[in-house]
Amino acid sequence: MNLEDVARLAKVSTATVSRVLNGVDVVRPGTRTRVMKAVAELKYHPNLHARSLAGVRSRTVGVIVSNLENPFFLDVYRALEVDCRNNGYEVLVANTDYRSEQLVASIRLMIGRRVAGLAVIVSEMESALIQELTESQIPAVFYDVGPSTPHITNIRVNYKAGVASVIEYLSGLGHSKFAFIGHHSGLGPINERYSAVRSALARLSPDAELHSIAGNDSLEGGRQAARSLLSSGYAPTAIICVNDFMAVGVLRELRECGLRVPADVSVTGFDNIGLSEFCYPPLTTVRIPRERIGRLLFSILGPGAQTAGQGGEEIVIEPDLIVRESTGPPKSGHSAGPLKPGRGAELRPA
């Protein structure tokens, strides 16, 4: 079943059918109607592969993320999708599970599909790939990773500042025994958060103690990490998690060990995913504006992709501290005063 079948039934040429289907030209209304009827009658569905091949501009943007299960990634994908749909684009997602082999496969897939633009929101990266992507001529945006090269825009989050605001807040509360829970310690952006923690600590609270441990980027991973931490004998008064998703897992383990949050131990997340307000207790975290990122992606990869500056732009996102109920002064610490705010309060520490 193809254009020709429709053309035959409507007694016109395939060219005309094509014109009708694409709303081009001014096909005579009568002809148009005949064609439409034939299309309906045959329940004709244009072959999208043929259409793409025939050389119209691609109306598809690709997104590659590390872990769709983590709401952070899902949210930016969804935001991008909304903009795309509203502008007649479609979006293709791919998930890497933090595995660079998957990244390679996904990028190849996207190039093979000749996407109009590609967003890469992952923590893993291989420089060879960047090269390959660059040469493919496809406009791309990298989030949080990779250098700036022609055709590739970079969006980065100012982790340094975000982490600093957490540390500042926590040590202002009197904490000095910290733990950091992360995942995939080999990966750039993750390490970035960890080193941000270390350097902020070195600056703000030189003699604080800090241990670090890693798990998978999942609820269960957070829980496991917390379990290892607890059984290691170290007793931190504040646990800084690499993201909210894992933090929720940490909260559970703490609860099951009979540790109260924040009375016995404070916990912080990162990202401000929706769940961070719905867990118990609600998480103190750092907001990363995922929706804005999604829209940004579209504005870069969408229609403007050709016109925009062709090379290594760099966009920096500034995160905000959001204080909720998972943090408070340490048990026997010298509190910086009655700072505990009401729930949902959104403020920067003084």
Kindly tell me which of 44 and 72 has the beta carbon lying closer to DNA: 44
Quickly list DSSP for 247-297.
HHHHHHHHHHTT--TTTT-EEE-SB--THHHHSSSPPBEEE--HHHHHHHH
Q: Tell me the closest approach of the beta carbon of residue 140 to DNA, in angstroms.
A: 20
For position 55 contacting DNA by CB under 7 A, the verdict is yes
For position 53 contacting DNA by CB under 7 A, the verdict is yes
Q: Tell me the closest approach of the beta carbon of residue 259 to a second copy, in angstroms.
A: 13
d(CA 211, CA 181): 9
For position 37 contacting DNA by CB under 7 A, the verdict is no
d(CA 144, CA 11): 56
Q: Tell me the closest approach of the beta carbon of residue 40 to DNA, in angstroms.
A: 15
Give the helix/strand (H/E) hosting 241: strand 238-241
Decide: 90 and 111 in contact? Cβ < 8 Å: no
Please report where in the chains the tokens 């099951």 appear, as a residue: 256
For position 40 contacting DNA by CB under 7 A, the verdict is no
Window contacting DNA (CB under 7 A); options: 8-16, 88-96, 234-242, 296-304: 8-16
For position 54 contacting DNA by CB under 7 A, the verdict is yes
In terms of C-beta density within 10 A (0-12 exposed, 13-18 middle, 19 or more buried), how is residue 85 classed? exposed
The region, left, alpha or beta by phi > 0 then psi within -120 to 50, assigned to residue 53 is alpha
Kindly tell me which of 69 and 320 has the beta carbon lying closer to a second copy: 69
The one of a second copy, DNA, none whose footprint includes residue 14, by CB under 5 to 8 A per kind, is DNA
The letter for the amino acid at 271 is D
For position 27 contacting DNA by CB under 7 A, the verdict is yes
For position 309 contacting DNA by CB under 7 A, the verdict is no
For position 43 contacting DNA by CB under 7 A, the verdict is no
- Contact residues for a second copy, defined by CB under 8 A: 43, 45-50, 52-53, 68-69, 71, 74, 78, 81, 90, 92-93, 95, 108-109, 111-114, 132, 135-136, 218-220, 223, 248-249, 251-252, 255-256, 274-275, 277-280, 343
Quickly list DSSP for 69-126.
TSHHHHHHHHHHHHHHHHTT-EEEEEE-TT-HHHHHHHHHHHHHTT-SEEEEE-S---
Sequence-separated (6 or more) residues with CB below 8 Å from residue 43: none
CA 77 to chain centre: 7
Please provide residue 284's backbone torsions phi and psi, each rounded to the nearest 5 degrees: -75, 130
For position 38 contacting DNA by CB under 7 A, the verdict is no
For position 23 contacting DNA by CB under 7 A, the verdict is no
Q: Tell me the closest approach of the beta carbon of residue 26 to DNA, in angstroms.
A: 3
The one of DNA, a second copy, none whose footprint includes residue 2, by CB under 5 to 8 A per kind, is DNA
For position 346 contacting DNA by CB under 7 A, the verdict is no
For position 191 contacting DNA by CB under 7 A, the verdict is no
Interface residues with DNA (CB under 7 A) are 2-4, 11-16, 18-19, 21-22, 24-28, 30-32, 44, 46-47, 50-51, 53-56
